[in-house]
Amino acid sequence: MTLIDTDPRQPTRVILEQGGTWGRWGTRIAWTVAGFSLLAALGSIGAFSQYFQRDGKVVEKYHSLSKTASAKVAIVSLTGAIMGGDGFTRAQLDHVAEDESVKAIVLRVDSPGGTVSGSDELHYRLTKLAKDRALPVVVSMGGIAASGGYYVAMANGGRDDVIFAEPATLTGSIGVIIPHFDVSRLLKKYDVRDDSISSGPLKEMLSVTKDRDPALAEKERKILQSLVDDMFARFKEIVQAGRPKLDAAAVDKVATGQIFTARQAKDAGLVDRIGFLEDAVTRAVELAGLTESTARAVKYTKPKGLLDEVLGGDAVPGSRVSLEAFAELTAPRAWYLCSWWPAIVAAK
């Protein structure tokens, strides 16, 4: 540092000088190291891009097998009642569709079923994804995989030895139901009358409050039965496509709405093996042409917010019931559902 004193009436100027040759080389070395660090970071991002999240709706987590393998077996969960085809299961399928490192899918089903349309859409999405990407699909059934849950499980490509049920699994319940309740007599008891205005008498089909004459009631029942029969026929077609070893007569024999234990289902040809999730993963690895050392099994969860972390789960689930949700639940629907009451909880 050099002090330059000129005129005492002027401010003193201070000039800072670099400390010799080492100061210049030190600066160059620092910039060189920073440049190499940046290149290394960019290279790591490219090399390990398959480990980074792509979708804010889905969080990928390691499940089993090799932690360092790039090829993945994706465990897609179908949990709870199926209300539509755009829930978390759909988000998982969309995530898999964008992840080229996924080489096989294990569909983990723990569902009593749900709406006809929701079950059919998930079946379609999974079938299309598996076909477009040539991905083998193996099914692992949890506590219950009934009705619509079994329907979606049929998106397995019709392969042999791909449906696993745990020893305590309940499955089957192949059938369709349109719930209907009639409280018109109860309303009449309290002198209450449904005076709705509609464009025609059939517009009020399935109304729980409308008092019908016997002829109209019979006409409505025949129409609704034809709808159920048509959807039931499609259900059986889906089962036969997913279980090609069962002929039409064999499918008719099990398509009675009955629930089966894992052992009964295996004897009836509805499942292939009694085993757990690990067994299904092993089979998926085999079908994908991988090994336990070259495959990484991953599963998906919903991302949690700060409040979820503090409370240790979903923040106040089901605390709000909107008018839109109420209208959705009270709308007439057909169900592939193992229940005596229509589902009121969306798939998780």
Average pLDDT, the chain: 83
Does the pLDDT value for residue 218 go beyond 90?
A: yes
**List 188, 203, 245, 253, catalytic entry:** 203
Look up the CATH number of the domain holding residue 133. 3.90.226.10
The residue with tokens 């076909």 is 131
72 counts as catalytic? no
Total number of domains constituting the chain: 1
Please say if the pLDDT value at position 9 is more than 70. no
The answer to whether position 345 is within a domain reads: no
High-pLDDT (> 70) share of the chain, %: 72
Task: Write the single-letter amino acid at 36.
Answer: F
Known active-site residue 203: yes
Burial of 228 (0-12, 13-18, 19+ CB in 10 A): middle
Which residues have CB under 8 Å from 275's CB, separation 6+? 164, 165, 166
77, 111, 117, 147: which one is catalytic? Answer: 147
- Determine the Cα–Cα distance for residues 145 and 153; give it in Å rounded to an integer: 8
Contact present, 271 and 171 (Cβ < 8 Å): yes
Domain around 161: 57-180+241-304+324-337
The whole-number pLDDT of residue 37 equals: 58
Mean pLDDT of 211-239: 95
Residue 107 located in a structural domain: yes
Over the stretch 127-155, which tens digit does the pLDDT of each residue have?
A: 999 999 999 999 999 999 999 999 999 99
Let me know if residue 293 belongs to a domain.
yes
In a domain, 146, yes or no: yes
Lowest mean pLDDT among 5-9, 62-66, 214-218: 5-9
- Could you give the angle at the alpha carbon of 105 between the alpha carbons of 97 and 265, nearest 5°? 135
More confident residue, 15 or 74: 74
CA distance 254 to 263: 14
Is the residue at 222 inside a domain? no
Identify whether 248 is part of a domain: yes
Q: Output the pLDDT for position 148.
A: 95
Average pLDDT for 171-184: 91
Region of 146 please: left (phi>0), alpha (psi -120 to 50) or beta. beta
Give the span between the Cα atoms of 307 and 111, in whole angstroms: 27
Output the pLDDT for position 222: 96
Span of 64-68, 261-265, 323-327 with lowest mean pLDDT: 323-327
Q: How many helices (H) and strands (E) does the chain have?
A: 11, 13
- Find out whether 141 and 109 touch, Cβ atoms under 8 Å: yes
Identify the band that residue 26 occupies on the pLDDT scale cut at 50, 70 and 90. low
- Neighbour-count burial for 254-276, b at 16+ CB within 10 Å, e otherwise: bbeeebbbbebbbebebbbebbe
Give the number of other Cβ atoms within 10 Å of residue 125's Cβ.
19
| pLDDT at 52 exceeding the cut of 70 | no
Specify the range with the lowest mean pLDDT, choosing from 110-119, 196-205, 248-257, 302-311. Answer: 302-311
Query: Is 210 inside a domain boundary?
Result: no
Residues 6 or more apart from 340 whose CB is under 8 A from it?
none
pLDDT at 188: 87
In a domain, 139, yes or no: yes
